[in-house]
Amino acid sequence: MSDVVLHADVGWESCAFSRRSPSKETPNEDAIGIVRISDDTIVYAVADGCGGMRGGEQASSIALQTLAECLERHEGGPDRLRVAILDGIEQANHAVQELKIGAACTIAVVECHRGTIRPYHVGDSMILVTGVRGRVRYQSVSHSPVGFAVESGMLCAMEAMHHEDRHIVSNVVGDPRMRIEIGPVVTLAQRDTVVIASDGLFDNVSIGEVVECIRKGKLQASTSSLAELAYARMLGIEGQPCKPDDLSIVTIRPAAN
Protein backbone atom coordinates (compact mmCIF):
# COMPACT_ATOMS: atom_id res chain seq x y z
CA MET A 1 0.00 0.00 0.00
CA SER A 2 1.25 3.49 -0.83
CA ASP A 3 0.80 4.75 2.74
CA VAL A 4 3.48 2.43 4.16
CA VAL A 5 6.15 4.84 5.43
CA LEU A 6 9.80 3.75 5.47
CA HIS A 7 12.13 5.03 8.22
CA ALA A 8 15.90 4.59 8.21
CA ASP A 9 18.13 5.27 11.19
CA VAL A 10 21.54 4.22 12.43
CA GLY A 11 21.38 0.45 12.89
CA TRP A 12 17.66 0.08 12.11
CA GLU A 13 15.20 0.14 9.24
CA SER A 14 11.47 0.29 9.90
CA CYS A 15 8.10 0.75 8.20
CA ALA A 16 4.85 2.10 9.65
CA PHE A 17 1.29 1.70 8.37
CA SER A 18 -2.03 2.75 9.92
CA ARG A 19 -5.54 2.92 8.45
CA ARG A 20 -9.02 2.97 9.94
CA SER A 21 -11.43 0.08 9.56
CA PRO A 22 -13.19 -0.16 6.18
CA SER A 23 -16.48 -0.64 8.03
CA LYS A 24 -16.58 2.71 9.84
CA GLU A 25 -16.38 6.45 9.24
CA THR A 26 -15.27 7.46 12.73
CA PRO A 27 -11.54 8.22 13.33
CA ASN A 28 -8.84 5.58 13.48
CA GLU A 29 -8.45 4.58 17.14
CA ASP A 30 -4.95 3.15 16.63
CA ALA A 31 -1.77 5.15 17.13
CA ILE A 32 1.91 4.55 16.31
CA GLY A 33 4.91 6.00 18.14
CA ILE A 34 8.61 6.02 17.22
CA VAL A 35 11.04 7.60 19.70
CA ARG A 36 14.74 7.90 18.90
CA ILE A 37 16.71 7.63 22.14
CA SER A 38 20.26 7.75 20.77
CA ASP A 39 22.29 6.95 17.67
CA ASP A 40 21.70 3.21 18.12
CA THR A 41 18.60 2.99 20.31
CA ILE A 42 14.97 3.45 19.20
CA VAL A 43 11.63 2.61 20.83
CA TYR A 44 8.63 1.63 18.67
CA ALA A 45 5.06 1.36 19.93
CA VAL A 46 1.53 0.59 18.74
CA ALA A 47 -1.56 1.45 20.80
CA ASP A 48 -5.12 0.37 19.95
CA GLY A 49 -8.08 2.19 21.50
CA CYS A 50 -10.68 -0.29 22.72
CA GLY A 51 -13.66 -0.26 20.37
CA GLY A 52 -17.14 -0.02 21.79
CA MET A 53 -15.91 2.16 24.64
CA ARG A 54 -15.86 5.94 24.84
CA GLY A 55 -12.58 7.69 24.10
CA GLY A 56 -10.66 4.91 22.37
CA GLU A 57 -8.90 7.39 20.11
CA GLN A 58 -8.06 9.59 23.12
CA ALA A 59 -6.76 6.64 25.11
CA SER A 60 -4.33 5.43 22.43
CA SER A 61 -3.08 8.95 21.73
CA ILE A 62 -2.59 9.75 25.43
CA ALA A 63 -0.83 6.45 26.04
CA LEU A 64 1.78 7.05 23.34
CA GLN A 65 2.22 10.71 24.21
CA THR A 66 2.80 9.84 27.88
CA LEU A 67 5.25 7.08 26.95
CA ALA A 68 7.15 9.44 24.65
CA GLU A 69 7.40 12.09 27.36
CA CYS A 70 8.86 9.56 29.80
CA LEU A 71 11.36 8.38 27.21
CA GLU A 72 12.40 11.94 26.39
CA ARG A 73 13.19 12.50 30.08
CA HIS A 74 15.17 9.27 30.15
CA GLU A 75 18.76 9.59 31.34
CA GLY A 76 21.41 6.91 31.51
CA GLY A 77 22.34 3.88 29.45
CA PRO A 78 20.24 1.09 27.95
CA ASP A 79 19.91 -0.58 31.35
CA ARG A 80 17.81 2.41 32.48
CA LEU A 81 15.62 2.39 29.38
CA ARG A 82 13.59 -0.53 30.69
CA VAL A 83 12.64 1.55 33.75
CA ALA A 84 11.63 4.50 31.55
CA ILE A 85 9.37 2.29 29.40
CA LEU A 86 7.69 0.72 32.41
CA ASP A 87 7.21 4.14 33.99
CA GLY A 88 5.78 5.44 30.73
CA ILE A 89 3.19 2.65 30.47
CA GLU A 90 2.25 2.98 34.14
CA GLN A 91 1.87 6.76 33.84
CA ALA A 92 -0.17 6.24 30.67
CA ASN A 93 -2.46 3.93 32.64
CA HIS A 94 -3.08 6.66 35.22
CA ALA A 95 -3.56 9.33 32.54
CA VAL A 96 -6.19 7.28 30.70
CA GLN A 97 -8.01 6.58 33.95
CA GLU A 98 -8.03 10.32 34.65
CA LEU A 99 -10.30 10.81 31.62
CA LYS A 100 -13.00 9.24 33.82
CA ILE A 101 -15.05 8.09 30.82
CA GLY A 102 -14.14 4.39 30.85
CA ALA A 103 -11.63 4.75 28.01
CA ALA A 104 -8.97 2.10 27.48
CA CYS A 105 -6.39 0.88 24.98
CA THR A 106 -3.85 -1.84 24.43
CA ILE A 107 -0.16 -1.16 23.87
CA ALA A 108 2.82 -3.05 22.45
CA VAL A 109 6.32 -1.61 22.78
CA VAL A 110 9.70 -2.77 21.45
CA GLU A 111 13.02 -1.26 22.50
CA CYS A 112 15.77 -1.72 19.90
CA HIS A 113 19.42 -1.37 20.89
CA ARG A 114 22.52 -2.45 18.94
CA GLY A 115 20.97 -5.47 17.24
CA THR A 116 18.87 -6.58 20.21
CA ILE A 117 15.22 -6.02 21.06
CA ARG A 118 13.09 -6.33 24.18
CA PRO A 119 9.27 -6.48 23.93
CA TYR A 120 6.63 -5.17 26.35
CA HIS A 121 2.86 -5.38 26.00
CA VAL A 122 -0.53 -4.88 27.59
CA GLY A 123 -3.57 -6.42 25.90
CA ASP A 124 -3.89 -8.04 22.48
CA SER A 125 -1.72 -5.85 20.28
CA MET A 126 0.97 -8.34 19.34
CA ILE A 127 4.72 -8.59 18.79
CA LEU A 128 6.27 -11.20 16.52
CA VAL A 129 9.92 -11.88 15.60
CA THR A 130 10.66 -14.10 12.62
CA GLY A 131 13.82 -15.22 10.83
CA VAL A 132 14.46 -15.25 7.09
CA ARG A 133 13.74 -19.01 6.96
CA GLY A 134 10.34 -18.52 8.56
CA ARG A 135 11.13 -19.62 12.11
CA VAL A 136 9.16 -17.71 14.75
CA ARG A 137 11.72 -16.60 17.32
CA TYR A 138 9.30 -14.77 19.61
CA GLN A 139 5.53 -14.29 19.76
CA SER A 140 3.70 -12.39 22.48
CA VAL A 141 0.63 -13.95 24.09
CA SER A 142 -2.53 -11.87 23.78
CA HIS A 143 -4.05 -10.91 27.11
CA SER A 144 -7.47 -12.30 26.29
CA PRO A 145 -9.46 -15.46 27.04
CA VAL A 146 -8.94 -16.65 23.45
CA GLY A 147 -5.22 -15.79 23.54
CA PHE A 148 -4.68 -17.75 26.74
CA ALA A 149 -6.69 -20.66 25.35
CA VAL A 150 -4.37 -20.83 22.34
CA GLU A 151 -1.29 -20.64 24.57
CA SER A 152 -2.58 -23.49 26.74
CA GLY A 153 -3.44 -25.67 23.75
CA MET A 154 -7.21 -25.56 24.30
CA LEU A 155 -7.71 -23.81 20.94
CA CYS A 156 -5.72 -23.96 17.74
CA ALA A 157 -4.72 -20.70 16.07
CA MET A 158 -7.28 -21.03 13.26
CA GLU A 159 -10.12 -21.74 15.71
CA ALA A 160 -9.09 -18.61 17.58
CA MET A 161 -9.34 -16.45 14.45
CA HIS A 162 -12.98 -17.52 13.99
CA HIS A 163 -13.94 -17.50 17.71
CA GLU A 164 -16.93 -15.34 18.63
CA ASP A 165 -15.13 -14.01 21.74
CA ARG A 166 -11.87 -13.01 20.05
CA HIS A 167 -12.72 -9.32 20.62
CA ILE A 168 -12.64 -9.66 24.44
CA VAL A 169 -9.47 -8.30 26.10
CA SER A 170 -8.64 -9.03 29.74
CA ASN A 171 -5.81 -6.53 30.37
CA VAL A 172 -5.81 -2.91 29.17
CA VAL A 173 -4.24 0.49 29.73
CA GLY A 174 -6.86 2.46 31.66
CA ASP A 175 -7.62 -0.26 34.21
CA PRO A 176 -6.34 -0.06 37.83
CA ARG A 177 -5.53 -3.80 37.58
CA MET A 178 -3.32 -3.37 34.49
CA ARG A 179 -0.18 -5.49 34.33
CA ILE A 180 2.77 -5.17 31.96
CA GLU A 181 4.28 -8.26 30.38
CA ILE A 182 8.00 -8.01 29.63
CA GLY A 183 9.51 -10.36 27.09
CA PRO A 184 13.09 -11.60 26.83
CA VAL A 185 15.99 -9.82 25.16
CA VAL A 186 16.26 -11.20 21.61
CA THR A 187 19.45 -10.80 19.55
CA LEU A 188 18.47 -10.35 15.91
CA ALA A 189 20.24 -11.83 12.93
CA GLN A 190 20.75 -9.64 9.86
CA ARG A 191 17.48 -10.57 8.13
CA ASP A 192 15.26 -11.11 11.16
CA THR A 193 12.07 -9.03 11.16
CA VAL A 194 10.03 -7.66 14.07
CA VAL A 195 6.30 -7.07 13.59
CA ILE A 196 4.27 -4.95 16.04
CA ALA A 197 0.58 -4.72 15.20
CA SER A 198 -2.89 -4.04 16.50
CA ASP A 199 -5.34 -6.94 16.50
CA GLY A 200 -6.64 -5.79 13.12
CA LEU A 201 -3.73 -7.73 11.63
CA PHE A 202 -3.71 -10.99 13.58
CA ASP A 203 -7.53 -11.34 13.66
CA ASN A 204 -7.48 -11.45 9.85
CA VAL A 205 -4.13 -12.97 8.89
CA SER A 206 -2.63 -16.12 10.39
CA ILE A 207 0.83 -16.19 11.95
CA GLY A 208 2.09 -18.36 9.10
CA GLU A 209 0.78 -15.90 6.51
CA VAL A 210 2.35 -12.96 8.35
CA VAL A 211 5.69 -14.75 8.40
CA GLU A 212 5.53 -15.60 4.69
CA CYS A 213 4.66 -12.01 3.76
CA ILE A 214 7.25 -10.31 5.90
CA ARG A 215 10.35 -12.49 5.80
CA LYS A 216 11.24 -11.99 2.13
CA GLY A 217 12.09 -8.99 -0.01
CA LYS A 218 12.60 -5.37 0.90
CA LEU A 219 10.89 -4.27 4.10
CA GLN A 220 8.64 -1.62 2.57
CA ALA A 221 7.35 -3.96 -0.14
CA SER A 222 6.72 -6.86 2.24
CA THR A 223 4.97 -4.58 4.75
CA SER A 224 2.77 -3.24 1.97
CA SER A 225 1.85 -6.79 0.91
CA LEU A 226 0.96 -7.66 4.48
CA ALA A 227 -1.26 -4.60 4.87
CA GLU A 228 -2.98 -5.32 1.56
CA LEU A 229 -3.71 -8.91 2.60
CA ALA A 230 -5.19 -7.87 5.96
CA TYR A 231 -7.32 -5.14 4.38
CA ALA A 232 -8.61 -7.53 1.68
CA ARG A 233 -9.68 -9.97 4.40
CA MET A 234 -11.58 -7.19 6.17
CA LEU A 235 -13.53 -6.52 2.98
CA GLY A 236 -14.61 -10.16 2.95
CA ILE A 237 -13.24 -13.23 1.20
CA GLU A 238 -15.43 -16.34 1.39
CA GLY A 239 -14.07 -18.93 3.81
CA GLN A 240 -11.40 -16.61 5.22
CA PRO A 241 -11.34 -14.79 8.58
CA CYS A 242 -13.03 -11.38 8.35
CA LYS A 243 -12.99 -8.93 11.25
CA PRO A 244 -13.04 -5.32 10.05
CA ASP A 245 -10.98 -3.20 12.42
CA ASP A 246 -8.48 -0.37 12.53
CA LEU A 247 -5.13 -1.66 11.34
CA SER A 248 -1.67 -0.51 12.43
CA ILE A 249 1.60 -2.26 11.64
CA VAL A 250 5.22 -1.46 12.45
CA THR A 251 7.96 -3.66 10.98
CA ILE A 252 11.62 -3.47 11.98
CA ARG A 253 14.88 -4.98 10.74
CA PRO A 254 18.52 -4.41 11.61
CA ALA A 255 19.96 -2.14 8.92
CA ALA A 256 22.25 -3.77 6.38
CA ASN A 257 25.92 -3.29 7.18
C-alpha 134/C-alpha 216 separation (Å) is 9
Model confidence, pTM? 0.92
Structural contact between residues 88 and 74, judged by C-beta atoms closer than 8 angstroms: no
> What tens digit of pLDDT does each residue of 33-43 get?
999 998 889 99
Q: What is the pLDDT of residue 3?
A: 80
Q: Considering only CA atoms, which of 205, 214, 195, 209 is closest in space to residue 234?
A: 205
> Between these two residues, 68 and 153, which has the higher pLDDT value?
68
CATH topology of domain 5-254: Phosphatase 2c; domain 1 (3.60.40)
Position 150 pLDDT exceeds 90 = no
Position 53 pLDDT exceeds 70 = no
Position 60 pLDDT exceeds 80 = yes
Structural contact between residues 6 and 252, judged by C-beta atoms closer than 8 angstroms: no
Average pLDDT, rounded, for the chain? 89
What would the mean pLDDT of 208-237 be, rounded to a whole number?
A: 92
C-alpha 247/C-alpha 29 separation (Å) is 9
**% of the chain exceeding 90 in pLDDT:** 65
> Would you kindly state where each structural domain of the chain is located, as residue ranges?
5-254
Position 163 pLDDT exceeds 60 = no
Tell whether the torsion through CA atoms of 230, 235, 237 and 242 is positive or negative: positive
> What tens digit of pLDDT does each residue of 111-138 get?
999 999 999 999 999 999 999 889 999 9
> Across the strands, what pairs with 187?
116
- Which of the residue ranges 16-20, 52-56, 146-150, 222-226 would you say has the lowest mean pLDDT? 146-150
> What tens digit of pLDDT does each residue of 178-190 get?
999 999 999 999 8
Q: What is the pLDDT of residue 158?
A: 66
Query: What confidence category does residue 58 fall into, taking pLDDT thresholds of 50, 70 and 90?
Result: very high
